[in-house]
Amino acid sequence: MKKIVFALLLLAGLSQSISAQSLKKDTIQKASMSTELLTFAKKHLSLRYRSGGTSRKGFDCSGFVRYCFSQFGMLLPHSSAAQISHGIEIALGEAKEGDLIFFKGHNAGSQRVGHVGLILDVKNNYVKFIHSAWKGGVRYDFLHADYYKKRFVGVRRVIR
């Protein structure tokens, strides 16, 4: 009886070890994909803004996000309002690199999503993101800037 119990405990421990190793490998692969995605996105800094743009000739915000994800085999719709329905909702405090960050458009009083970016860095007091903005094209910005803070809608995780 002791041998059977010992064997079952050994198998259970081995199973948990294999499961933990798989989880760790999966986590590393996701982190690697996020890093590659953001490295790719940064290569497009200073490209011009173009309404409806989806290529290196010019991007709008959702076109830029869609283009970056498509390079890694992930297809997203071409509108920030449609992109917010993809992935899973994440609390701002749980946000991490590679997550999508959404904002209202020009009208801060509106309830409609009108802008999207990719989170680059999350620190105690700020979130840095890359996006294609009407002024400046593909560039970095921070959530704590008044313009974006007033328009913040939420965060979604597409890389799971």
Catalytic residues: 61, 115, 131
> Token pair of 102, please?
């959404």
Quote the distance between the C-alpha of residue 83 and its chain's center. Answer: 11
DSSP 48: P
CA-CA distance, 52 to 57, in Å (whole number)? 11
Q: First and final CA of the chain: distance in angstroms? A: 43
Question: Please, are residues 60 and 50 in contact by the beta-carbon 8 Å criterion?
Answer: yes
| DSSP-derived pairing of the beta strands 152-157 and 100-104 | antiparallel
DSSP for residue 129 = E
Give dist(CA 60, CA 68) in Å, integer. Answer: 12
- Cα(110)–Cα(93) distance, integer angstroms: 24
